[in-house]
Structure 1
Amino acid sequence: MSAHVPQICVMGVSAAGKSTVGIALAETLAVPFVDADSLHLESNRTKMAAGTPLTDDDRWPWLDAVGAEYAQAGASGLVMACSALKRVYRDRIRAAAPGVVFVHLGGPRELLLERATARTDHFMPSSLLDSQLDTLEPLGDDELGVAVTVDRTPAMLVSEIIERLRA
């Protein structure tokens, strides 16, 4: 991670802890935090709440809004929680904000399912976890970012993320 204020996308499937880790990371770096779920069209939120996976056509306007948030933040920095499951989705974000660094939060399906099932305050049902895992494309070797396993506390994850991004 360079000396400038970062633009970081905390990515992964639902229940990986994107918002929790993203908020903690943003606080540590003293930059704003945005949950990309807040940028979804209401029709997308309704589909997901009903247990219907989104199509790529559903996602394009949302991904454009995510990229626009990063572009608007510019040099002031921004941490955003955004699933960004496929390479083409990350490419769409990078088209608007080429310097975005991706932090992939991953873990065993059993742990993610346990977390998803325990949540009662989220529009994304645990029944969509498998479709997200099927869709997930890990970061490529040529993509700017790091992958971490979510089997530790958010504070431990933030420390590891910052250390690895600065390496």
Structure 2
Amino acid sequence: MMILTDKKPRVNVEGILTAEEIHEIEHHIGHYPYPRAASLDALKCVQRRNGWVDDAQMNAIAQLLTISVADLEGVATFYNRIYRQPVGRHVILLCDSIACFLMGAETLAEVFQRELGIQFGQTTQDGRFTLLPICCLGNCDKGPTLMIDEDTHGLVEVTSIKQLLEKYV
């Protein structure tokens, strides 16, 4: 499928996105009055396959949405759960908001970094985990809180970290 617009060069999105992704993105576009409104849905759709969205995929998505890559990049970088570089099979998001900080998130972060042998923003050598800080997970009454993939874990204690990591093999 070749996409043509007045402002942008042709891009063969089929070589970059799967037929299923194209179909899903077009489906999302149909739910909004303007294609650009489907930006986040389209990014999530493409990220589901590889765990992140590369530059070629960004260009293809922008073509389907008939927006500039810069506009799409603005959406991707605004949402901290859209990844623009490779991440591990499991992404650990450790809340660093004031509520979690007061409940021991800083100590938790130190233990995670020691256990995994990585710092924030890095991925383990085996590609299993990426560790990232996140501003707030909205689980303040159960801090310190973290997410691994889509699973929220509250009231996390330092002594439970090894056992928690073992669940994600």
TM-score relative to the length of structure 2: 0.28
- Greater CA radius of gyration, 1 or 2? 2
Higher normalized contact order (CA 8 Å, seq sep 6+, divided by chain length) = 1
